[in-house]
Structure formats: structure tokens, C-alpha cells
Amino acid sequence: MRSEQPSEVVSVACAQLAPVLGDVDRNRARAAAAIEHAAARGARLVVLPELCISGYAFADRVEARRLAEPADGPTAQAWSELARRHELVIVGGICELDDEGAVRNSAVLIDASGLLAVYRKTHLWDREQLIFAAGEEPPRVLDTEAGRVGIAICYDAFFPEVMRGLALEGADVIAVPTNSPLLAPPTQPLSVEVVLAIASAHVNSVFVAQADRSGHERGIDWAQASAIVDPGGTLLAGPVDGASVLVAECDLASARDKALGARNDVLADRRPELYLEAFRSTPTTKETVS
Amino acid sequence: MRSEQPSEVVSVACAQLAPVLGDVDRNRARAAAAIEHAAARGARLVVLPELCISGYAFADRVEARRLAEPADGPTAQAWSELARRHELVIVGGICELDDEGAVRNSAVLIDASGLLAVYRKTHLWDREQLIFAAGEEPPRVLDTEAGRVGIAICYDAFFPEVMRGLALEGADVIAVPTNSPLLAPPTQPLSVEVVLAIASAHVNSVFVAQADRSGHERGIDWAQASAIVDPGGTLLAGPVDGASVLVAECDLASARDKALGARNDVLADRRPELYLEAFRSTPTTKETVS
């Protein structure tokens, strides 16, 4: 069923880090060590958590601004050097100070040539709304040496529209830099954040590479929901407790062939003529369709 | 967070049945016994599997046609009588012979007044494409005495557009009559069919009531993925092995308030202006957005 596409195996890593809020230099060193470790294990695509250099739980906008950096700032420069040295593609989250002076929750995509793209989180979770300016551009897919990489940040991935959109634009792998606060003790064998990664991978027949936080920060524990999931919805790696680098071999061909069994295709089987009205309608619609 | 809506607790049942292909009279008796059992446990909404009167693995269109019945045929009549006797709302799958003579994989929605609605499966799985005419109307939401009930059938629920559309139309509970063939032995603590039910419930803040098959049929085993999931993504009941009736108390208020924490709302946080192009585009799009 998945045999028509030429095999293209890429080793993908997700670094679950435990940065310390405000300790930018050491957080950058922690990220670099994880990238080196992933490279030593053969990784070509390395995904790091959301806001992994600054930390997450900012007291206010002033603190976030003080810890922000330009998209092409010191983190991008450090990651570009690592990408050159190890032939890597790197996706990770930074606290961005943009050209207009707005503070953004962003992910940068970097390869040996430097900064390829910046994505600014479009769905802000909870107090992020008090801190960051939301992105105005949709999540995107970039052609890289490690395949076609889509980017979504944490709560973005709770919107099936985002993950479907990236799949429709041809993503092989959706990289999801994440900081998932642990809202309640887990009551099921898989946390909801891991469940969503599996569901998104399966319904879109894409790889999902989610890099979450560990550690503690201003009273917050983390779901530690790092996971690498294949297009069939199988967990290849993760979740894991503590700071750790997950690595999995991903054959991108299995994301490029959307066939499901002998007669189905997860994208071609869509019936957009039946969905569009529903997707256009607003949540306030209360009319019964009958 | 979920305190503004008046509480409205409805007991929901999912009957995991083991019908025998072609044994229509006894399958109807099995369904009736499950409905009586659910009513005795206090259920007001009862969901039954896909094609639960005819069986599933038809050899061909001729066999399916022989086992088909009109939407208002003997099954609807039997369920209407049970709905009247026990004040129930019933959703279940039948092999429908429609007014034009086409055979459909349908779900009927029935209350004490009789047949309220017929939904014809719009996404056909595998050999169903050789047997059934696909539905031309989107899945729908109906106002009932047991809340606002959306309907999707099995593979329909693999399309996030379907589940999101039903949530946007105001569903409290999405009833999912299902027959999930077991494609491979489960390798994870939750099967992908249960994962999808949890993900759909969580991202849409709705109840999902999925009624699957058990038993064996012409070489097919079943995933037995019956589950009742709350709007937070918590499994209230299921999955379960063998023929069984799951029952759970569902406070519909928790599906009507879409708040997630203090500052978020799973529907209002959508950014449709960023999605529409992606949702309109076809799976053949290969342009990189960058």
C-alpha cells in the first residue's frame, strides 16, 4: 500500500529539555548539548521545545521582553553553526523580539545555510495572551534537507485545522515545539497531549515530532509529552520522564503516500464540498441542521 | 470555568454488539435486548453499532440489498416502540434501501415520536465502496430530548472536518456507530480508534459516544473500540471486550461551555482566516508556503 514512494529514511530527534527561566546562557548550552547528542546518534532533524532558551512562565511582558532576542539573534547563530557542523535541520522555540518591537512566541527553522524561516505561534494559551503578540501568518511547510517540515507550536496543535492544513501543504513531518503545563495528574495510559499527537499523525498520515519541557518552573510541572509518531499513529519514541533526547528512524515515503489500505487515502477521501460551510461557520451558530 | 451553563445530566449508553451476518431477526432481538438493558440502567441516549441489524462483511451488493430495509422499516419501528416505552433517544446503524433503490450505510435517529433523521455515511471504508452509495449530505446535529446529538459513522470520524463541523453546529454528544475491523494487533495502551475518540472529544469539547462491534465475521475481528469520552478527553466508559453495554452520566453543560481554563475556548480560539485556504486546497497541492 505504501510501496510506490522511494524510501527516504531520516533520523528525527526530539529533545525534551529542562531550561531554567531567565538563565539564557545556560539554557543555550543545554540546547546545544542536546543537539550535539542528537547528532551523535545520527539525527538529521532535531526538534527542541517552545521557548527553550528563555523559559516559559514570565511574570509579565517586561520580563519576556528582557529575555527576548531577534529571530536571527544568538540562538539562531549558535544553531546555524551546529547545523553546519553536523548537517542538521533544527526547529526550536525562542522568545522573539521582532523588527517592530513586538514580543513573539516563535519557532525558528535552521539549516546549514542559516535561518530558513520563523513561525510565530497563532493560538496563544492562557497567560501567553498577556505576554505575546499572536502570529498573523498560518503555520507553514518548508522544504529542507531532512524532508518537508511543517511547524506548529503547542496549543496550535490542538486545532485540527492547523495539522490538516500542514498535511495538505505536503508536510512529511510536523515539528511541534511544546511546553505543556501539567493541568491535572494523568488518569489514562496516554496523556491527552500524546493522544493528540497520535491522532494528528494518523488522520493526516504524517510524522509528528513533538518536543516538550521537563523540570519545574514557578509552580508549573510539565506533561513531558515528547513523542515521535509515525503516519500510522504508532509511537516510535516517547513519552519519557526527565530531560532526554528521543530519536527515531522515519521513512518519509510513508508520509508521502496517503493510502490507507487498498481503497482509501486520508486526504483524497475528504469531501470538502460537505465541510466548507461547517468550517466557515462561527461557533455562535445555533441553528439545527435537519 | 464550566460553571455558567445549567447542569443537564443525561445518561448515555453505547451497546457493543456481536451481530451475525444475515441473521436479521436475531440481530434485531440482540439490539432490542441491549436497548432494554441500557434503559434499565437509566440511559436516555442509546448508541448502537454501524450495520448492527444486517452485519457488515457483505460478499457483494446483491447480498447487501437482500438484507437492506427502508429507514422507516422494521428496525425503526422496533426502536420507536422501545423509545416510547422507555423515553429514549436511539441512534444506530442499519443497511438502508433508500427511496431510489440505492443501498446505504446509514444511521437512524429515533425518539418516542418515531424516526427523526437518517444520516448516510459520507466516507466509505475499503470494500464499502463496492457495496454502498455514499451519502451526499453532511453529518448533522439534531435537537433531541437527550441533548443536541451529532452523528458520524465509523470512518467519518477519522476526518477532523466532520467532528469539528458537528461541534460548530452545536453538538453536545457525537454518536458514532462503528464497525472497526482489527487491522493489526494493538501495540499501544489505547487503540487508534479510541485515541481518535478522545482527541475529537477534547479538541471540540464534546461528548463522544462510540459504539463498536465485537464477535467475528467472515475472517474479520473487531477493534472493540466502544467508548464514552467527556469533553475534557477523559474516558468515562470503555473500551471493553465482548458484547457489553457501556453507560456513563454526561453533564451536557460541560459540552456547551467551550472554555478551556481561564482564558481559552476551543472554538472561539480558532483563527479561520488562517485556515480557509488550507482547507480549500486539494491534496495534490505541492507548493511550498514560505
Cα of A203 vs its chain's centroid, Å? 17
Could B123 and A271 be called an inter-chain contact, meaning their C-beta atoms sit closer than 8 Å?
yes
Q: For residue range B49-104, what is the model confidence (pLDDT) as tens digits?
A: 999 999 999 999 999 999 999 999 999 999 999 999 999 999 999 999 999 999 99
Least Cα distance to B250 among B149, B154, B169 occurs for: B149
Cell of A133: 503578540
Cell of A277: 460551510
Contacts for B180-184: CB closer than 8 Å, 24+ residues apart: B180/B154, B180/B212, B180/B213, B180/B222, B180/B223, B180/B224, B180/B225, B181/B220, B181/B221, B181/B222, B181/B223, B182/B220, B182/B221, B182/B222, B182/B223, B182/B224, B183/A261
Q: For residue range B121-174, what is the model confidence (pLDDT) as tens digits?
A: 999 999 999 999 999 999 999 999 999 999 999 999 999 999 999 999 999 999
What is the model's pLDDT at position A4? 62
| Whether the Cβ atoms of residue B241 and residue A104 lie closer than 8 Å to each other | no
Share of chain B above pLDDT 90, in %: 88
What is the model's pLDDT at position B280? 52
Q: For residue range B9-57, what is the model confidence (pLDDT) as tens digits?
A: 999 999 999 999 999 999 999 999 999 999 999 999 999 999 999 999 9
Could A138 and B286 be called an inter-chain contact, meaning their C-beta atoms sit closer than 8 Å?
no
What is the model's pLDDT at position B4? 62
| Whether the Cβ atoms of residue A94 and residue A52 lie closer than 8 Å to each other | yes
Mutate to test the interface with A, among B264, B273, B282 (most CBs of A within 10 A): B264
| Whether the Cβ atoms of residue A221 and residue A181 lie closer than 8 Å to each other | yes
Residue A168 φ/ψ region, left for φ over 0, alpha for ψ in the -120 to 50 degree band, beta for the rest: alpha
Cell of B240: 471493553
What is the model's pLDDT at position B185? 82
- Measure B153 CA to nearest chain A CA, in Å: 14
Could A258 and B283 be called an inter-chain contact, meaning their C-beta atoms sit closer than 8 Å?
yes
Cα separation, A97 vs B279, in Å, equals 31
Could A138 and B183 be called an inter-chain contact, meaning their C-beta atoms sit closer than 8 Å?
no
- Measure A40 CA to nearest chain B CA, in Å: 29
| Whether the Cβ atoms of residue B195 and residue A202 lie closer than 8 Å to each other | yes
Could A279 and B275 be called an inter-chain contact, meaning their C-beta atoms sit closer than 8 Å?
yes
Largest interatomic CA distance in chain A:
61
| Whether the Cβ atoms of residue B215 and residue B172 lie closer than 8 Å to each other | no
Cα separation, B21 vs B103, in Å, equals 16
- Measure B40 CA to nearest chain A CA, in Å: 29
Instruction: Please name the amino acid found at residue B189.
Output: P
Neighbours of B20 (CB within 10 A): 13
Residue that has been written with the C-alpha cell 557542523 in this structure: A85
Mean pLDDT, contiguous 10-residue spans, chain A (290 residues): 72 98 98 98 98 98 98 98 98 98 98 97 98 95 97 98 94 98 88 97 98 95 97 97 97 96 95 73 39
Q: Kindly tell me if the per-residue pLDDT of B282 is higher than 90.
A: no
Residue B267, burial from CB neighbour count under 10 angstroms (0-12, 13-18, 19+): middle
Residue that has been written with the C-alpha cell 444511521 in this structure: B107
Contacts of B129 in chain A (CB under 8 A): 263
Structure pTM?
A: 0.95
Contacts of A276 in chain B (CB under 8 A): 279-280
| Whether the Cβ atoms of residue B164 and residue B150 lie closer than 8 Å to each other | no
What is the model's pLDDT at position A184? 82
Average pLDDT over residues B248-264: 96
Mean confidence (pLDDT) of chain B: 93
Residue that has been written with the C-alpha cell 462483511 in this structure: B57
Q: Return the SS3 of B185.
A: coil
Cα separation, B126 vs A57, in Å, equals 48
What is the model's pLDDT at position A224? 97
Mutate to test the interface with B, among A264, A265, A267, A286 (most CBs of B within 10 A): A264
What is the model's pLDDT at position A2? 45
| Whether the Cβ atoms of residue B193 and residue B224 lie closer than 8 Å to each other | no
In this complex, which of A142, A160, A268 lies closest to B164 when CB atoms are compared? A160
In this complex, which of B159, B234, B288 lies closest to A143 when CB atoms are compared? B288
| Whether the Cβ atoms of residue A284 and residue A276 lie closer than 8 Å to each other | no
How large is the ipTM?
A: 0.94
What is the model's pLDDT at position B72? 98
Given the residues B14, B52, B121, B250, the one annotated as active site: B121
What is the model's pLDDT at position B285? 36
Mutate to test the interface with B, among A156, A159, A220, A265 (most CBs of B within 10 A): A159
SS (H, E, C) chain A: CCCCCCCCEEEEEEEEECCCCCCHHHHHHHHHHHHHHHHHCCCCEEECCCCCCCCCCCCCHHHHHHHCECCCCHHHHHHHHHHHHHCCEEEEEEEEECCCCCEEEEEEEEECCEEEEEEECCCCCCCHHHHCCCCCCCCCEEEECCEEEEECCHHHHHCHHHHHHHHHCCCCEEEEECCCECCCCCCCCCCHHHHHHHHHHHHHCCEEEEECECCCECCECECCCCEEECCCCCEEECCCCCCEEEEEEEECHHHHCCEECCCEECCCCCCHHHHHHHHHCCCCCCCCCC
What is the model's pLDDT at position A35? 98
Cell of B281: 486546497
